[in-house]
Structure 1
């Protein structure tokens, strides 16, 4: 007696498919050589997304295009760079540290063609165009061919004699990868590996994994596949299970086959009517219960539309049932193909409940386990699971295949995905601004801020301050990408006392993905939508998008924080900057310097995409130190031939008038400089310590100003600077 069994461990259709590969017993092939069973299962989809560094970790063989994490096979210690900032007047010094590292990551036990995108902690590190979003000294790809040489960096660290070339293994090397964007640690990396051009057939995959001992269906292909497992059986089993393949042994060797067309027909004339002289029924039918078939089946796969992350398609069958089943397929499919595979497998399990035993005469010896046949007495197609020759009869164990059920509806979706922007870093735009203090409290040093930004792919830039000697000193990196642009229209002069609902200004931002939002009065009161336009600080409550990157701003609050003096200085093309503290850097404070009014600050920025540094020069005016110009100047006769001039003081500490009393002084003492001007000539100057001054009759006569028009100018003298002027014209 000789028995050839297709499904000794599992079943071909309706359950685990281990038997389709590992359970073919007999003289067909040496099972111990080709598919020796092991105790572990192959890798699941999640294994491809987790970066490892453990010794002995298995490396998958990549076919087509896949996203894999790989295994860290070599790394240097973290390289530390320290920088000290602060330490100026009233500020403690702060020492900050940044780190970089060089690492090698193994990706595939099979040669690859190229590396495309790379993700670090889920964010793009390298774009499709090959541009890096974070600084890296060098990047090398070793494709895994037989002529591969040792990596020069690893060889310099370990010695050329102790450095393997890793031939047959594809890996990459990063030199001095900056880690600041990843919390100063080595991030979790995943790579878009392109091992083959285009889709790869199952015939090619099975042939390579088995050393050309196993053929496969050339009609089935996948866009990518990661083969792993304890042996060849485990490596190819996910494909067998997902596509419902059978194993056929023929004159040409072993082959994985799909259902396809019938290889032959079991005709009535070949059926055995008698065995050992006794009459038999040549066909016996068996059936399984519906409860043995899951009510739903999910296929988990890699979805190219989701950047090769895991996707899932779930199909259900009608009727009662409670159990569900799932298949992990480490292959790349589109959603419609994945849904079709899941539907085929569920229908196969439903149809596979029907089994049949057929006894035939010697002519059935031409059929092999794994063949798909038709039976004249039974509808549909059947796969041969066992073939037994005994007592001059051939016994065939058959399981029904699905057929005629139609295809699932098209239009399966990939689901939503938050995809990092893949755009070139592009050039850096740098802006320096000398601002009044924008938070509560009183400043004791100028507030000079640097804002840097760029297009959609821009992330950050290294900042440098150039001293009087011409030496550029690194001061760290810029803050996050600032929302900035230029004014398209000229904003007319307005009132700093009322909400300006009649005027608007149009601005164009640096990139279309930058957004300005409308807010309510409560949000404005909390400081939202504060912006620098030219040198005036404004707030807006309405932002109307008028183009790809253009907005019309209205509902304006003008001349904020004492910048009403700048309302008359607007021009088309002047800079616009949305003030967000987390996106600003203080280059003077970083250096531990306070800066002096009248001094010149030169700052340059260099980003990954900059051919030349972006350079800006600013003469410091110290807006944060200047007392505000007085308001409500008024004059009245003193009854003795002179005039009394009065005004209302404003304060650098009085942005929110909460108590209803006078605003805080905000200076060491209250002092004002008063000047009387005849045209451009100062005819009298005097300092007073209260918010009024009398220009007496004797002063007027002494100055020769009786009957003349004069300009009375008042400036507050602060602790660190003299404020801007308030004035009125007076006819004496």
Structure 2
């Protein structure tokens, strides 16, 4: 067989590698003489999981390709526990998370870098190099002088730690596994080995003298885990490679369908009786037509994140299953369609052959050269040549197989993972008013509204900043985002006693995918749509989308929760927080009594995000009395009266006074001038009577003085209520 003969010749010329290439050429000739035979060789593999089995080869990666890799080192999963306090009266919660440390070998030849990484089919590392979960990724490119990885060296000891020189590998340190069921996910890597796939790179490692020319330009990447001849055999159906063994070394080059075709001289006659075409100098033959199954090409589609794709040649399909050619390479759908169309045309045109004799010796005429013949149309490729006494005899095959233009590949639908950058953390901390449901009316309920600028966000770690230069851990915010934004314009003043139907507020949410919902009167009465705007608590009945994350709020209930004093203090760009959404409770004991701030740090944050605690003390501060009244008697006695309010008694449903919520009912009445208190009275009833003499003495102190009343709570005073002025 030709395979045996040419294999022996190749071994004599180039050693074992030469024998492999000779065997490849022989197989090509066998296929022409005997027909195609079944063969095993490199196959396009599915995107497998990373394995750690001994004996599996580490492939060589060329160009840009997606590979699974092999786990070459790992530690046990690391368990992390975190105890989060639920505050007073609530049980502490202990949460467990797990991380992994592992090293994955990617290529047994150096690479340029690493692109995207997938875990269980989801993006773990984006094109910009950002990890979508917590952890650190280090890339070792496989240089011959690369240093040991510090994590492996610390774990195994520097004396026992391999550097894996010549092998490109990636090391994950503290890779968070909560997104993957607390197990190591199936990892695949986009390896960037070269800027192009070149034939010379494929044969560089061979010991034989081989000259290789040309780029495999249509291929974006190639994976090789076998010998050179099996790799070339896999490429041969769609990318014929010409091999010239006539010189001192083997010469290989990629057949270029677009190269200029040389014009052969006129055919030369021969005198030998057994020579072909003795008079004409050539012999043309056409092999009989056989309706074979149409070819199909299976490949890794770069347009579909290297998922396997299949392209079929056009035309009437032959009987049986398609003749499937598996190419362990990455290429675009259009290039794959072009290759399979060329393959079909090459098989059809390859039935036409010419044996040509020429008397001219031309170094440019070698196996693989494209030629034109006198008086014959089309282009022809030199398959072999032999120098004989009658001249140089060439074996030519028809090659004008340019694929049709404007071919549309059939790739199907592919929901590619969205590669979004990690979102930045947004934070607003505040203290909530006592709602009457908690047992301890004086315990501060501090919460943190922790959101993000986008959907790619895995939560943030919260800290207390007491101003001493240290950050005290408070736990994690969780992955659910709070609805946070800012008010574009200041909110106009309005009465806290009436339903505000005239004011409108334009709110811009930090994440455009979040929404606000309207609420009816009954829902507002139940506490729906409570929001913080600046330092005022507001409920809104209407929320109309304006576009680009902007919402116009109207039908407002103002000054809720005892924040009526903030109605006139609004500023542009104040924070907006939907308090009926996701909030994270903060242990007030960890804050102490200092003016502490809350800090948050997420994966997308270069610096901690810090927020002061708004409405600090509102939970323990009594509400301002209302309905201030004053009466003068005939004897000149001034009676000051007011009506108390109680913390937590927001809904007055039965007409009966709500519980006070304080240790005792006490009030502080002050007589003030220019903001300074000149006299003060402490009473335990919502009334104060002043005699005519007391009024006279007060008038002598300040003729334009004013009376104010504050409720005295267990821990704080309420804001003042103006009663009357003496002027």
CA distance in 1, matches of 2:353, 2:326: 34
Aligned to 1:62: 61
Match of 1:170 among 159, 168, 176: 168
1:339 aligns with 2:334: yes
Q: Does 1:258 align with 2:255?
A: yes
Cα deviations by residue, 1:529-580 (Å, 9 ceiling, x for unpaired): 654221223346135358xx8x464325233445444322322354333547
Tell me what 2:12 maps to: none
Instruction: Using structure 2 for the length normalisation, give the TM-score.
Output: 0.70
Pair 1:286 & 2:281 matched: no
Residue 348 (structure 1) aligns with: 343
Question: Which residue in 2 is equivalent to 1:12?
Answer: none
Aligned to 2:192: 194
1:580/1:684 Cα in 2 relative to 1: closer, same or farther (>3 Å)?
A: closer
Q: Distance in 2 between matches of 1:271 and 1:437?
A: 112
The residue number in structure 2 matching 1:218 is 214
Q: Tell me how far 1:94 sits from its aligned partner.
A: 2.0
**Does structure 1 residue 206 correspond to structure 2 residue 207?**
no
**Judging changes above 3 Å, is the alpha-carbon distance between structure 1 residues 27 and 406 closer, same or farther for their aligned structure 2 residues?**
closer
Q: Structure 2 CA distance, aligned partners of 1:663 and 1:313?
A: 78
- Correspondence for 2:141: 143
Call closer, same or farther: CA 1:166–1:621 in 2, change over 3 Å: closer
Q: Does 1:432 align with 2:434?
A: no
Q: Deviations over 1:656-690 (max 9, x none)?
A: x9xx7669958779986567666665557334xxx
Who is 2:407 aligned against? Answer: 408
Measure, in 2, the Cα distance between the counterparts of 1:455 and 1:683: 52
> Which structure carries more relative contact order (alpha carbon 8 Å, separation 6+)?
1
| 1:206 alignment partner, SS class | helix
Shift of 1:85: 2.4
Determine the C-alpha separation between the residues in 1 that align with 2:369 and 2:528.
73
1:305-344 equivalences under 5 Å are 308-310=305-307, 317=314, 329=327, 331-333=329-331, 335=332, 338-344=333-339
After superposition, residues 655-670 of structure 1 pair within 5 angstroms as none
Contact 1:4 1:369 in 2 (8 A): no
Q: Provide the secondary structure at the position in 2 that maps to 1:90.
A: coil
Please name the residue that 1:79 is paired with.
78
2-structure distance, mates of 1:411, 1:711: 84
User: Partner of 2:544 in structure 1?
Assistant: 542
SS at match of 2:587: helix
Give secondary structure in 1 for the equivalent of 2:568: helix
Name stretches of at least 5 consecutive residues in structure 2 with no aligned partner. 7-19, 31-37, 700-704
Deviations 1:293-337 (A, max 9, x none): 26x86754224xx7x54485856636678976776655454x5xx
Equivalent position SS for 2:25 = coil
Cα deviation code 1:476-516 (max 9, x no counterpart): 3344565645545322222456664533345666x6x6556
* 222 and 74 in structure 1: CA distance in 2 versus 1, 3 angstrom threshold: farther
Distance 1:599 1:3, change over 3 A: closer
Aligned to 2:684: 686
Counterparts of 1:701 and 1:617, CA distance in 2:
47
Equivalent in the alignment of 2:43: 42
**Alpha-carbon separation, structure 2, partners of 1:498 and 1:271:** 115
Distance 1:668 1:632, change over 3 A: closer
- Aligned-partner Cα distance in 1 for 2:693–2:220: 94
In structure 1, C-alpha distance between the alignment counterparts of 2:123 and 2:482, rounded to whole Å: 20
Identify the range of structure 1 (621-630 vs 519-528) with the bigger mean alpha-carbon deviation: 519-528
Q: Distance in 2 between matches of 1:723 and 1:93?
A: 33
Cα deviation for residue 46 of structure 1 reads 1.9
Consecutive unaligned residues in structure 1, runs of 5 or more: 7-18, 30-36, 688-692
Moved more, 408-417 or 149-158: 408-417
Tell me how far 1:74 sits from its aligned partner. Answer: 0.7
Partners of 1:297 and 1:130 lie apart in 2 by: 33
1:231 aligns with 2:233: no
1:601 aligned residue: 596
User: Are residues 686 and 165 of structure 1, via their aligned partners in 2, closer, same or farther at CA, if it must alter by over 3 Å?
Assistant: closer
- Give runs of aligned pairs for residues 387-536 of structure 1, distance below 5 A: 402-403=401-402, 405-408=404-407, 417-422=416-421, 430-436=427-433, 445-452=443-450, 461-465=460-464, 472-480=471-479, 484=484, 486-496=486-496, 500=500, 502-506=502-506, 514=512, 517=515, 519-521=517-519, 531-536=531-536
